[in-house]
Structure 1
Amino acid sequence: MQSNNIRSLVFIALFAALFIIMSSLTIKFGGSFVPFTLQTLGVILAGLFLTPRNAFLSIFVVIVLAAFGLPLFSGAGGITHLIGHTGGFIFAFPFCALLVSLAVGAFLHRFNAKGNKLIAIIVFFVIFELFSSLCAYVTGIPWLMHVLGFSFQKAMAVGFYPFIIVDALKSLVGAILAVSLTPYIVYIRSSTSSISTQGTAYKA
């Protein structure tokens, strides 16, 4: 149990660092309110490799550190940034990672995709698209409307529509990685879980 806790802390820190790195890779076009980042890919990877609790904590700890002023979100930090116009997305990310992890765990445990990687890619893609991308917009768009005083149509135009294709590409990359690295995913998830048989039904 103690070794599992140590491994959990190591992986939480590792994926927190990965999320920070992906948050720093930002493209912001002139006049755009929401930048293009790889944050949702970081959420995907955390949910893919970690158990639900650890996936949540790996993103949440970054938010906590940023609240103390550390510039962890595209070189910015502090409470002002966290409750700014992108705050709805930021605070959704830990829950997105948790939901991705729950869905991935259920899939790995119940579905035997041996010899049918295409189905696995499709399922992973749907999981990532729903829970790492679309779920973030559930809070992200209303908060964008609230902070900037945008109408729903305006918020969708600047905070959703430009990102549809990019989000789909990130989900596809995540799905391909998931199928390619399944044995490692199963091992890492089971090594940090009290349920050692987690994911054993899936055979790559």
Structure 2
Amino acid sequence: MNRWSLRGLIFSALFAGVMIALSSMKVSLPFSTVPITLQTLAVMLAGSVLGARYGTLAVLIVIGLCAAGFPVMAGRGGMSVLVGPTAGYIFAWPFAAFLIGWSAERMSQGKFTFGKLLGANFLFGSLLVYPTGVAWLAHSIPSLDTLSKALTAGMLPFLPGDFLKAALCASVVTGVWRVYPIERIVGKRSPDWVGEKASE
């Protein structure tokens, strides 16, 4: 495994800042305690641009700052956020960033790059997050005593927006990779990727 690089660590810190900034853009919904924010977009971007290790680190930095009391989660911070109704989503983000990054590191860049990034980001950055997010939300709010209520409050209204975020991320990252390939951050690709690239 490649050693941690100063460049990667700097980018992790920068993307943590991006995630904090995007969290301030939120829309509260009258029927749910879960707001619409752009933090999930930041998680997708971190994994896609920085790869598995550094993307995950960026998310963990934000969670650590939140635990320390800094208002980095849509203007809120402290342990109350990390045990509150939305904690299930928050603790799924590092896994989402890791799997998005793991997938991105193994993608060949070609005419299907956008579609592959879209799929990885929607699958891991959205759908993966909901099982723990909805389960903890239902546990935290007694009135969400049926599956349909929990899904309505914590998942279904957010899916169209998540798909748009995944598409936006895929579009941005496809362009970024043309001028700043992911291997410049994570190091050399695996032999499997090199062989795949050579065979294109």
- Say whether the fold is shared (TM-score over 0.5): yes
> Can you list the C-alpha shifts for 1:45-100, whole angstroms capped at 9, x where unaligned?
10111121111110011111111111100110111111100000011111100010
- Call closer, same or farther: CA 1:122–1:192 in 2, change over 3 Å: closer
TM-score (norm 1): 0.86
Output aligned runs, 1:20-39, within 5 Å.
20-39=20-39
1:5 aligns with 2:5: yes
TM-score (norm 2): 0.88
> Can you list the C-alpha shifts for 1:15-59, whole angstroms capped at 9, x where unaligned?
000111111111103343110000111011101111211111100
1:169 aligns with 2:169: no
Output aligned runs, 1:101-116, within 5 Å.
101-107=101-107, 111-113=108-110, 116=111
Deviation at 1:137, TM superposition (A): 0.4
Structure 1 unaligned runs (5+)? none
* Matching residue of 1:155: 150
* Matching residue of 2:120: 127
* Matching residue of 2:83: 83
Please point out which of 175, 178, 185 is paired with 1:180: 175
Between the aligned partners of 2:114 and 2:109, the Cα distance in structure 1 is 13
1:16 aligns with 2:8: no
Please point out which of 116, 131, 138 is paired with 2:131: 138
- Asked if structure 1 preserves the Cα contact closer than 8 Å seen for 2:15 and 2:58, the reply is yes
> 1:128 is aligned with what amino acid?
N
Between the aligned partners of 2:157 and 2:21, the Cα distance in structure 1 is 22
- Number of residue pairs aligned between Structure 1 and Structure 2: 191
- Asked if structure 2 preserves the Cα contact closer than 8 Å seen for 1:48 and 1:185, the reply is no
Between the aligned partners of 1:158 and 1:67, the Cα distance in structure 2 is 25
Deviation at 1:4, TM superposition (A): 6.0
- Asked if structure 1 preserves the Cα contact closer than 8 Å seen for 2:51 and 2:104, the reply is no
Deviation at 1:120, TM superposition (A): 2.2
Deviation at 1:7, TM superposition (A): 0.8
* Matching residue of 1:196: 188
Structure 2 unaligned runs (5+)? none
Between the aligned partners of 1:72 and 1:159, the Cα distance in structure 2 is 21
